């Protein structure tokens, strides 16, 4: 018996994947009934409007054949269609975020061939009225003897009955589940994946409980109110590829030295103190891609720190680490060592965020050369001196260059013009001595330009009245030696300053590694009325101009009156022209 999967997109954004048997009469009727129940624009729909009894439903637009029913992420605002339980050949059923009202039909328990059942997120996003009243899930699930994957919302039934013999995936993450995690969870012997993160579970979990789950591949207990006791002997810990124990009140490293298959390890936001164990470099040798030890109380790394050659992401930020910055393999694409106490010079072949340390010396030219594969270079608030190396490659991919708060001197390197995707340039609080950066005039993507408190001088603007950077939204030229008249025509091209304030909020970000969903968030410090304010995420609606404490003369340009984004009723706007001398 073949099954039917329907996939449609209406003007209301409805997405449906529907499964039935081999398009028999009752199954075709169910699809037609579903069509008649849903609300859609019959003039814009190219799929639903053509569904009728005159043709085999396997040939309907948007309908293909398999054994899955996926009604997730819709806003149906209706009860379940009649005859729903007649789809007895289904092997996969997804009702997550579907938007149905009323009760989940208990008849689902008759679909005994189900292998996958997703009943998570049973409240449609943003629509409070669409609340599903759940039946006795334990009774429902007990009937599904072939179930391999179960995702639930709301209540946690004891499923240690018939179904537990085959269950491989149990996902209770992202709910508001409270109280202790039921002990029966750790007795479902065939579990491959156990995801309990982002709830309000409380109590203490002894990590050796996991030893009973011999087939476990992935464990996530992160972001609850749990205390995980890792001070136990793990004699027969299962070999896993994913372990996430973020924010689990860990005080010691769990002994994972025998984990040879590990790909993803997250022990962040805990209270682990002391030294990073030397065996950390042996974990997942040849397989480890992601290692996050950030936001702990770690004081030192083993020297030398030998990490797997497979590693792509290393996050050590917000510890109290001292000594040398770790030497890493070229395979590492994202490293965050910020907010520590490292004091050495940068190794010659590293890509990382080393802001807020005490690093000294000059910036290694090879680090600049690596910007052909680097999206973010953040060396903010260190003690680097000398010139910025003129080594930016012709294929520079930088979106953010933040060198604020160092001791850098000299001029902007001419090769910086190669970074045509640059969005954030922050050179504030250094000792640089140069003219207005017209060499960057062709970087149309630039949104943030901070040159504050340097020795920049001369006129604002570029030859031939060329005024660059139409997307510019934060400009800080304060406390320099700029002079002469502010050019009206140059400022007139700053189109982003003329927005009406109705744009959608957002922020600049750089996707560092799609595997982990990790994003580097830009920050910048702006000064208003003598008070510094750090924007941890640069809102795309934030607009700021600071020309104060220079030597400008003449009238304030008329175009500033058109900068409507500076006058919208929001705290995200600022204009400072202090110490401006008029004729």
The secondary structure of residue 342, as a DSSP letter, is: E
Question: Token pair for residue 310?
Answer: 């497979």
Over range 430-456, report the average pLDDT.
90
Residue 182: per-residue pLDDT: 81
Is the pLDDT at 460 greater than 80, yes or no?
yes
Residue 311: per-residue pLDDT: 87
Over range 91-95, report the average pLDDT.
81
Query: Coil, helix or strand for 31?
Result: helix
Question: Token pair for residue 283?
Answer: 């974990």
DSSP assignment of 162-188, as one string? Answer: TGGGT--EEE-TTS--EEPPPGGGGG-
Q: What is the CA radius of gyration of the chain?
A: 29
* Strand ordering across the sheet containing 360-361: 360-361, 383-386, 407-410, 431-432
Average pLDDT, the chain: 75
Share of the chain above pLDDT 90, in %: 19
Residues in the chain: 583
Residue 174 to residue 123: CA distance in whole angstroms: 12
Is the pLDDT at 21 greater than 90, yes or no?
no
Q: Taking a C-beta distance cutoff of 8 angstroms, is the pair 173, 198 a contact?
A: yes
Q: Is the peptide bond before 459 cis (omega within 30 degrees of 0)?
A: no
Residue 513: per-residue pLDDT: 41
Is the pLDDT at 522 greater than 80, yes or no?
no
Over range 519-533, report the average pLDDT.
54
Residue 9: per-residue pLDDT: 35
User: Please, where are the H alpha helices in 336-379?
Assistant: 365-369
What domains sit in the chain, N to C, each tagged with a CATH number?
A: 1-135 (3.80.10)
Q: Report residue 271's pLDDT band, with 50, 70 and 90 as the boundaries.
A: very high
Is the pLDDT at 283 greater than 60, yes or no?
yes
pLDDT of 247-262, one tens digit each? Answer: 999 999 988 888 888 9
Please, which residues bridge with residue 264 across strands?
242, 290
Residue 125: per-residue pLDDT: 41
Residue 511: per-residue pLDDT: 46
Buried b (16+ CB within 10 A) or exposed e, 260-269: ebbbbbbbbb
Q: Taking the CB of residue 326, how many other CB atoms lie within 10 A of it?
A: 23
Over range 175-199, report the average pLDDT.
85
The candidate with the shortest Cα–Cα distance to 471, out of 517, 427, 425, is 425
Q: Taking a C-beta distance cutoff of 8 angstroms, is the pair 260, 284 a contact?
A: yes
Candidate from 13-17, 324-328, 531-535 with smallest mean pLDDT: 13-17
Candidate from 34-38, 286-290, 419-423 with smallest mean pLDDT: 34-38
To the question of pTM greater than 0.95 for the whole model, the response is: no
234 or 492, greater pLDDT: 492
Candidate from 43-52, 112-121, 367-376 with smallest mean pLDDT: 43-52
């Amino acid at each position: 018996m073949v099954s039917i999967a329907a996939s449609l997109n209406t003007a209301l954004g409805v997405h449906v994947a529907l499964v039935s048997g081999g398009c028999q009469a009752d199954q075709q009727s169910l699809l037609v009934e579903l069509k008649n129940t849903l609300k859609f624009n019959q003039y814009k729909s190219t799929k639903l409007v053509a569904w009728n009894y005159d043709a085999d439903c396997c040939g309907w637009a948007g309908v293909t054949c398999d054994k899955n029913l996926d009604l997730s992420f819709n806003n149906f605002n209706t009860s379940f269609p009649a005859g729903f339980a007649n789809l007895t050949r289904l092997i996969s059923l997804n009702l997550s975020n579907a938007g149905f009202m009323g009760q989940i039909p208990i008849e689902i328990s008759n679909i005994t061939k189900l292998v996958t059942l997703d009943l998570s997120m049973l409240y449609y996003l943003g629509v409070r009225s669409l609340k599903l009243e759940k039946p006795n899930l334990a009774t429902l699930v007990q009937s599904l003897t072939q179930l391999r994957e179960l995702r639930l919302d709301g209540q946690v039934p004891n499923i240690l009955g018939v179904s537990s013999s085959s269950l491989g995936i149990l996902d209770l993450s992202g709910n508001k589940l409270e109280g202790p995690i039921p002990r029966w969870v750790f007795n479902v012997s065939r579990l491959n994946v156990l995801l309990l993160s982002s709830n309000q579970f409380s109590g203490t979990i002894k990590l050796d409980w996991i030893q009973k789950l011999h087939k476990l591949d992935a464990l996530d207990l992160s972001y609850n109110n749990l205390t995980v006791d890792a001070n136990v002997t793990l004699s027969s810990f299962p070999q896993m590829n994913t372990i996430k124990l973020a924010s689990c009140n860990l005080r010691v490293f769990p002994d994972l030295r025998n984990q040879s298959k590990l790909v993803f390890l997250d022990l962040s936001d805990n209270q682990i103190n002391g030294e990073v164990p030397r065996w950390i470099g042996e974990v997942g040798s040849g397989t480890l891609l992601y290692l996050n030890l950030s936001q702990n109380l770690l004081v030192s790394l083993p020297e030398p720190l030998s990490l797997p050659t497979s590693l792509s992401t290393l996050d050590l930020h917000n510890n109290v680490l001292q000594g040398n910055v770790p030497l890493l393999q070229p395979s590492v694409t994202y490293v965050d060592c910020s907010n520590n106490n490292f004091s050495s010079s940068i190794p010659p072949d590293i890509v990382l965020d080393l802001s807020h340390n005490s690093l000294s010396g000059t910036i290694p030219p090879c680090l600049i050369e690596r910007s052909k594969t680097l999206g973010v270079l953040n060396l903010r608030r260190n003690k680097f001196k000398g010139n910025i190396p003129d080594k930016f490659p012709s294929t520079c991919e930088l979106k953010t260059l933040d060198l604020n708060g160092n001791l850098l001197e000299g001029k902007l390197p001419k090769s910086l013009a190669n970074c045509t995707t640059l969005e954030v340039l922050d050179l504030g609080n250094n000792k640089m001595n140069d003219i207005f950066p017209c060499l960057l005039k062709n970087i149309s993507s630039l949104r943030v330009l901070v040159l504050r408190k340097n020795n920049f001088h001369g006129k604002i603007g570029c030859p031939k009245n060329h005024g660059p950077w139409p997307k510019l939204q934060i400009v800080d030229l304060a406390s320099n030696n700029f002079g002469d008249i502010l050019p009206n025509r140059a400022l007139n091209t700053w189109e982003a300053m003329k927005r009406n304030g109705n744009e959608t909020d957002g922020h600049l970000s750089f996707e560092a590694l799609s595997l982990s969903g990790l994003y580097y968030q830009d920050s910048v410090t702006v000064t208003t009325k003598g008070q510094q304010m750090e924007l941890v995420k640069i809102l795309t609606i934030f607009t700021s101009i600071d020309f104060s404490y220079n030597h400008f003369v003449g009238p304030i340009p008329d175009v500033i009156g058109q900068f409507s984004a500076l006058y919208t009723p929001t705290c995200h706007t600022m204009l400072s022209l202090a110490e401006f001398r008029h004729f």
